[in-house]
């Protein structure tokens, strides 16, 4: 039976050091008392990701990281340009040292 289920947004997420935007995290405790988690994120079609370390910030400013593996994808809301990817945690999702703030160039919106 699933216990202690939580759902929250993870911001400024990278997967294997590649920025992927924000994702939704589901975190729960399984029958054996072990923490399990999954992440859902919209990615470009043909993203090629299979696994890697996911790292991002919570709304309250904590930085979380964990090893994730590609589980499945389905067509996203933007037709063939995006897919909704589900990643499964491979071990705990842990708090880590804060990420450095993005530079002004990274934080600025793209110019048309």
- In a domain, residue 84? The reply is yes
pLDDT computed for residue 43 by the predictor? 84
Q: Where are the beta strands (DSSP E) in 1-112?
A: 3-15, 18-29, 35-44, 51-57, 63-76, 79-89, 94-96
- In a domain, residue 40? The reply is yes
* pLDDT band with cut points at 50, 70 and 90 for residue 100: low
Burial of 100 (0-12, 13-18, 19+ CB in 10 A): exposed
Counting the structural domains of the chain, the total is: 1
Contact between residue 62 and residue 83 where contact means Cβ atoms under 8 Å apart: no
pLDDT computed for residue 108 by the predictor? 45
- In a domain, residue 11? The reply is yes
- In a domain, residue 105? The reply is no
- In a domain, residue 102? The reply is no
- Is 10 a residue whose pLDDT tops 50? yes
Of 88, 89, 81, residue with least CA distance to 42: 81
Find the domain containing 77 and state its range: 3-97
Quote the pTM value: 0.78
Burial of 85 (0-12, 13-18, 19+ CB in 10 A): buried
For residue range 72-99, list pLDDT tens digits in order: 888 777 677 888 899 999 999 999 987 6
For residue range 15-71, list pLDDT tens digits in order: 988 888 899 999 999 888 899 999 999 887 776 777 899 999 999 999 999 999 998
- In a domain, residue 17? The reply is yes
- In a domain, residue 103? The reply is no
């Amino acid at each position: 039976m699933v216990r202690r289920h939580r759902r929250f947004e993870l911001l400024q997420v990278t997967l294997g050091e590649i920025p992927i935007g924000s994702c939704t995290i589901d975190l729960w405790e399984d029958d054996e008392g072990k923490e399990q988690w999954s992440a859902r994120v919209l990615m470009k079609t043909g993203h090629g990701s299979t696994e890697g370390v996911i790292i991002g910030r919570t709304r309250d400013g904590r930085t979380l990281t964990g090893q994730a593996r590609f589980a499945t994808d389905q067509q996203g809301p933007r037709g063939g340009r995006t897919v909704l990817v589900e990643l499964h945690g491979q071990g705990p999702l842990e708090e880590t040292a804060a990420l450095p703030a993005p530079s002004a160039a990274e934080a600025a919106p793209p110019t048309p």
